[in-house]
Structure 1
């Protein structure tokens, strides 16, 4: 085995102590660890605001038509809740892909920004809500110290808040400080679009007019549409459709709902339209996909 960096070393020791399958929730609130011993096929999910720091290996994530590759020494910065496809592309039993995900707490970021002598300016336009950033220098040190708390759980309550604030400081004062500020600070155009996005997220089963969302964001229809797509790489209607299909998939796999029940539960009036759009997103019919997913889960539990 090749020498590994300090963060990978801590995460490797942690995952070796775990039972069950990745991802592993940790005793540290808002921190999860993912380990893959081989490349994996694409998986669909709803990504929440987080820093996904790669200690070893490489992954890619696709948001809409935008594919991002991130590898050891880099982090995927997710500033908006959005449907995504993720895949592990570099991993082996000797050098597993190791990722630590830290939830982004925007209230902490705002508190840190308030204490900066010259806080970064978010600008007057919206930008991408998900991007790759180098996670080196002081940020890498913060990640390592956060991971080290896994070995001293009695220190978590005291030290975790301090490390989160330090991460916020280095992000806001670093090369991509303006991007971070745009996503986390109040009254930026991105924050207004995110507010409308939360409204859509809560009502994704309903027939929602994009004009109504634009009003919530206090923008013209064209500006809202443009900035929404810049943030998520999806149009508002594509975003809603993917939320519906992901929730329907969850209902069929976790709750054993049949195809018709799942389609109507998430807001489709036509089961045939639901099936067509499901095939376009997941590559096979709802029934076959649910059966395949359940078989994979069963093998994972017994293997």
Structure 2
């Protein structure tokens, strides 16, 4: 099975501060007070300074959690977004999916509730006013455990479009993130206390205003859960030729119903989704494994290099060879700073 790229692998700068120096737009709850925002900013900056300062990715003890700081505009980065929470502490981000887009700024967060291709970009960042954020990739097993322990479980929401939302960061969630960041100063406590803080994050999300949407990926036989099963098959076998009937069977739907719900939730057809998986894996192979264009194309299932080049250029807005050269040059320039 071919591995799909992790987010950190395709960001335009290195991790660990190596450079030194149809969706829901509503925000249904009050923003955190100034004290909560100030405490989170202080904790995030302390974590960045402890990691060497500068810009880049600053991971926490759990592999699914990291802090990011950027001091300049970061162009659109096409990737498969996995179920996750993306919090903006300072600055502004934008995500584009299909013909829609969402912007979220300081003390707002993006909740992605299913795997889907999208383009994210940092649109508010400078050396004087950097972008600072924190992301948590959902651990679905732990999220399900927390859901099952709730006395009053959220009722599945009625939203029937792409499962991606922007909302405010509550005081309770901000406080939990602060304690998570501060815990890194006491490494011996991390194995014991960090899992409980992750559970607390999931508790606040599931009991918050979007809990009914978040839980849909965990409840059997919702449309979201069924389509997620098919996406899992697509990810495992994206380099193969797959029939709609096979994907529909994985989802437990008729082919016509599956096609309809898949497009409603992802804003693309299963074939288009598979193409996105192939192209993003090809990009990873060229960046990380130094594969040439022809080798990358064939490894992800293309039989024609010219077709691969056309579809890559159409998706990323740049020819594959030039894209790889420009991304490597950008990473090298940032590392030298």
With normalisation by structure 2, the TM-score equals 0.83
**1:161 — aligned with what?**
195
Tell me how many residue pairs correspond in the alignment.
302
C-alpha distance in 1, partners of 2:110/2:158?
A: 24
Structure 1 residues 175-214: Cα deviation after superposition (integer angstroms, max 9, x where no partner)? 1111011123333221111011000011110111122111
2:6 maps to none
Alpha-carbon separation, structure 2, partners of 1:10 and 1:50: 21
CA contact (8 A) 1:49 1:80 kept: yes
Conserved? CA contact 1:121–1:178, under 8 Å: yes
Match in the other structure for 1:8: 41
**TM-superposed deviation, 1:117:** 2.1
The reply on whether 1:116 has 2:147 as its aligned counterpart is no
In 1: Cα distance, 2:237 partner to 2:152 partner: 38
Where does residue 129 of structure 1 map in the other structure? 163
- Alignment map for 1:264-303 (pairs within 5 Å): 264-303=298-337
Indicate the RMSD between aligned Cα atoms, in angstroms: 2.2
The corresponding residue for 2:285 is 251
Alpha-carbon offset, residue 115 of structure 1: 2.0
Secondary structure in structure 2 of the residue aligned to 1:187: coil
For structure 1, the 5+ residue unaligned runs are none
Match of 1:17 among 50, 53, 63: 50
Task: Find the partner of 1:196 among 230, 239, 249.
Answer: 230
Instruction: Determine which of 107, 120, 123 is the counterpart of 1:73.
Output: 107
User: Structure 2 unaligned runs (5+)?
Assistant: 1-34
Could you tell me which residue of structure 2 aligns to residue 217 of structure 1?
251
State how 1:85-96 maps to structure 2 within 5 Å: 85-96=119-130
Contact 1:74-1:134 within 8 A present in 2 as well: yes
Contact 2:60/2:181 (<8 A) preserved:
no
Flag the structure with more relative contact order, 1 or 2, with Cα contacts below 8 A and sequence separation at least 6. 2
- Which of 113-122 and 188-197 deviates more? 113-122
Change (3 A) 1:298 1:94: closer
Residues 55 and 70 in structure 2, CA contact (< 8 A), matched pair in contact too: no
Determine helix, strand or coil for the equivalent of 1:23.
strand
The Cα shift of 1:256 comes to: 1.7
1:132-180 Cα distance to aligned partner (Å, 9 max, x none): 1221121222222222222333322222222222222222222111101
Greater alpha carbon shift after TM alignment, 123-132 vs 91-100: 123-132
**TM-score of the aligned structures, taking structure 1 as reference length:** 0.91
